[in-house]
Amino acid sequence: MTNMAAFALAVLLVLSMPGPTNTLLALAGATLRLQKCALLPVAELAGYTITICTLLLLVRPITEGSTVLTAAIRLVSACYLLGLARHLWCVQEQVENARTGFRRVFITTLLNPKGVVFAFVIFPNPSSSFWSLGESLLTFTVICVACSATWITVGATLGHRAGAYVGARGIRRSAAVVLGCFAVLTFGSVAFVLG
């Protein structure tokens, strides 16, 4: 297996795992018409690209192995996820605004702890080769868009089946519980990093 094949497999595995962004994508698929979800993969890709490039090019060279910075990034992520979970639990509207969905997916992805994993573990060191970094970003883009479209489709399929039983409010509250769990796990990982 080549380095790029190993990289692609690692990206696919991480992006396929349930997480905060994937929860929101599935929620959007379940509660919005699919046409309104069309730009959500762009929101996810933009969030990850900004996070990965910032961490990879600016932060990683300076703070290789800094537990305090890693903990700070995770703490901000956990606080955002907890706030988002609370909002989803309390929201009263029946249909989410597509622009709000885009903004939520973008910010959640920007703060997603997976971005730290990509920048510090999976992506190659940027000093090794600019061409290698470009090839990695292109591979990441293709896999990211495919995974986000899959999560939206899964949400739409499950939402269509579950919607008759629990309704949009129940689906949003279920997503809120999942996001709350991810927030608690992220808070726990801060203690683990600092401990």
Mean predicted lDDT score pLDDT of the chain: 82
**Greatest distance between any 2 Cα atoms in the chain:** 54
Give the whole-angstrom CA distance, residue 47 versus residue 35.
21
Give the whole-angstrom CA distance, residue 14 versus residue 139.
14
Give the whole-angstrom CA distance, residue 120 versus residue 52.
9
- Neighbouring C-beta atoms of residue 9, cutoff 10 Å: 12
CB 88 within 8 A of CB 169: no
pLDDT score of 169 more than 90:
no
- pLDDT 10s digits, 69-98: 777 877 887 888 788 788 778 866 544 555
**Whole-number Cα distances in Å, 92 to 89, 109, 191, 193:** 9, 24, 34, 37
Give the residue from 72, 71, 109 showing the smallest Cα distance to 189.
Answer: 71
**Cα of 12 vs its chain's centroid, Å:** 13
Q: Which of 8-12, 131-135, 148-152, 168-172 has the lowest mean pLDDT?
A: 168-172
Q: Which of 13-17, 43-47, 58-62, 184-188 has the lowest mean pLDDT?
A: 58-62
Q: How confident is the model at residue 167 (pLDDT cuts 50, 70, 90)?
A: low
- pLDDT 10s digits, 101-133: 899 999 999 988 888 888 877 888 777 666 778
Which residue type occupies 125? N
Predicted TM-score (pTM) above 0.85: no
pLDDT the model gives residue 1? 39
More confident residue, 167 or 176: 176
